[in-house]
Amino acid sequence: MRPAAIFALAAAIGGAALAQQGEPGAHFIENWDMDANGAVSLDEARQKRADLFTMFDQDENGVLDPAEYALFDQTRQDDMAVNAGGHGKGPMRIVNDGLTLPFNDIDGDGSVSADEFLNRVPDWFDTMDRTGDGVVTTGDFAAGNG
């Protein structure tokens, strides 16, 4: 990972830890809600995923190879453990599942291109928008919702 990306990710992880205790989905909203209105739109999800792809595409070849994806997976797991109360279990599973290699590797070649990663945004977003209102809020992570 590029040094600036490591610093940015560490700052996001460390800075959000205290604010996330107790409310399912709060960590996701804080990190993905780019205009801070309390809701993540499809456009925000698309932009954030593009940023994540760029961050983890270490060799800048437009593909997350297995090693780069392993780093992405480990970073997400560490973030979930520190800031979201677990490893993508419970309501946060819907966020994590849509970022996995199997979900994004459309052609099954073991790597994920930028196009594959971004083309999966609408499907991933729809699984998170459990209320069907066109945005993702903490309400979408509430128990019994969906």
| 145 domain residue, yes or no | no
Let me know if residue 144 belongs to a domain: no
* Overall domain count for the chain: 1
- The answer to whether residue 143 sits within a structural domain is no
The domain of 123 spans 3-132
Q: What is the pLDDT of residue 122?
A: 97
Is pLDDT of 44 > 90? Answer: yes
29 versus 79: which is more confidently predicted?
Answer: 29
Q: Which class for 67: exposed (0-12), middle (13-18), buried (19 or more C-beta within 10 A)?
A: exposed
Task: Answer yes or no: is pLDDT of 6 > 80.
Answer: no
Nearest 5°: the CA angle 89, 81, 116 is 65
Q: What is the pTM of this model?
A: 0.80
Residue 137, in any domain of the structure: no
- On whether residue 99 sits in a domain, the answer given is yes
CATH number at residue 93: 1.10.238
The answer to whether residue 139 sits within a structural domain is no
Q: For residue 45, tell me if it sits in a domain.
A: yes
Higher pLDDT among residues 9 and 143, named by residue: 143
